[in-house]
Amino acid sequence: MCSRQNAPVTAPTRRATTAWFHCFAGTAGDMTLGALVDAGADPDDVARALGGLGVDGFAVSFERTQRCGIAATRAVVAVDDHGHHDDHDHHDHDDDHEHDQHAHPVHRPYRVIRALLDAAELDERVRRRAQRTFAVLAEVEGRMHGVPADEVEFHEVGGLDAIVDIVGSCAALESLGVERLVCSAITVGTGTVRAAHGELPNPAPAVAELLARRHAPVRGIADGRELATPTGVALMAALADDFGPMPAMTVTSVGYGAGTADIAGRPNVVQVVVGEAVAEPASTPDPGQPVVLLEANVDDLTGEVVAHAIARLLAAGAHDAWATPIVMKKGRPAHTIHALCDPAVSATVGEVLVSETGTLGLRATTLRRWPRRREDGSVMVGGHAVRIKRAAGRTKAEFDDAAVAAEHLGLPVREVLRRAEQLAQPAETGEPSDTPQVER
């Protein structure tokens, strides 16, 4: 939904348990886990969930510490991941450690991690949140490397310690009964960092892509350390319902999760504030999300070229792209090619629109949009994964996945779509299900 003017948006009035993460010193997976335990999550609940993974070679403990005078909890994840201890995502700022921490990076394909989580004995919301986090990572990595998400080979975030951080954090959220997450602006450093692919810009490309995916607010400071790690940012990008200041709520607990290093002059912690959301007025003004609508009229393109141009616009980062048939001067049939995108990528999308259509010019309109929240997941149809998107009152299966499944199963694609969407429907319990029903 887009509009040229601000419009009131109905705000939820349900008193949901909310967690606000204050990432003023950055964020990492182990810091998130430590903060939630410090706020009252039961370590036994975390241990039970991690035991449900059905893998060994790791140990998790929680220790009390201080960072710049603030009492905090540090999550210590010790792993023997095929003989390699990978501490990449533990917010460790010791330079000597960072220089050799990637000597033998662990490689785990996304499909392996997804299968591991599918088979694990986990509460359904814990499984769904963990799957969503890795799916967001796979989507971002796939876009960066130009490969399908299923073919992504995770390096640092494929290590067992990163899996423990993500699943442990999701279990801690469940232990606290957290239904809604809000995240502050995320602080990042500058310069370069060492990773499996070599020396990379800081923030790392995966972190930058994750922030861009959610249009998350960010704050850079003159610090050459890796303040925001891919796992920590992925948890926020995948699970946060909103970004901004602390929402209106009645506070019930506060926690601090410590990073490995104690940095002089700045507490190296993530703060989490947990509470019950305070009911807000039925309608509150919402400024919406700024977008740019790029358009060009063309009268010399075949249908195939139009379809290809739309696909390239989407690949370039457009939120949506489409074509409208029109009639130009002298009665010539033509098309208007439209691309809706974030202002930050409008130049890139505009270049693609010009190059793919050969237009002699384009126009731009600044709009605002209010996208409805949707959930991404997947279901299994006859042993084949079919991605689904679900919003209030609507469930839609990914056609390309359904087509592949239909080909292997010898079924009409419409039947696979029907089965997938039926499996993804909430359970008939009177309350919406948090997780699509997965055929195993």
**Residue 3, pLDDT score:** 42
Q: For residues 124 and 260, what is the distance between their CA atoms, to the nearest angstrom?
A: 31
Which residue has tokens 């195939």?
A: 304
**Residue 281, pLDDT score:** 55
Task: List the pLDDT tens digit at each of the 440 positions of the chain.
Answer: 444 333 333 344 457 899 999 999 999 999 999 999 999 999 999 999 999 999 988 899 999 999 999 999 999 998 875 544 334 444 444 333 333 333 344 567 888 899 999 999 999 999 999 999 998 988 888 887 777 777 777 655 447 888 999 999 999 999 999 999 999 999 999 998 887 667 889 999 989 999 998 899 999 999 999 999 999 999 999 999 999 999 999 999 999 999 998 888 899 999 999 999 987 555 555 678 899 999 999 999 999 999 999 999 999 999 999 999 999 988 999 999 999 999 988 999 999 999 999 999 999 999 998 887 777 788 899 999 999 888 777 888 999 999 999 999 999 999 999 999 888 876 433 444 444 444 33
Residues with Cβ within 8 Å of 48's Cβ and at least 6 positions away in sequence, in order, are 171
Tell which residue, 137, 119, 117, has the closest CA to residue 128. 117
**Residue 12, pLDDT score:** 42
Give the long-range contacts of residues 125-131, CB within 8 A, separation 24 or more.
125/170, 125/174, 125/434, 125/435, 126/49, 126/167, 126/170, 126/171, 126/173, 126/174, 127/435, 128/377, 128/434, 128/435, 128/436, 129/170, 129/173, 129/238, 129/239, 130/166, 130/167, 130/170, 131/377, 131/378
**Residue 85, pLDDT score:** 39
422: number of CA atoms within 13 Å, CB side? Answer: 8
Q: Where are the domains of the chain?
A: 17-278, 289-369, 375-423
**Residue 148, pLDDT score:** 75
Tell which residue, 401, 418, 309, 306, has the closest CA to residue 353. 309
Token pair, residue 247, equals 């929402």
Which of the four CATH numbers 3.30.70.1380, 3.40.50.300, 3.10.580.10, 3.90.1150.10 does domain 289-369 have?
3.30.70.1380
**Residue 429, pLDDT score:** 38
Q: Count the Cβ atoms, other than its own, within 10 Å of residue 316.
A: 18
Residues with Cβ within 8 Å of 143's Cβ and at least 6 positions away in sequence, in order, are 209
Q: Which CATH class is domain 375-423?
A: alpha beta
pTM tops 0.85, yes or no: no
Query: Quick one: which H or E segment has residue 303?
Result: helix 303-315
Exposed, middle or buried, 253 (CB in 10 Å: 0-12/13-18/19+)?
middle
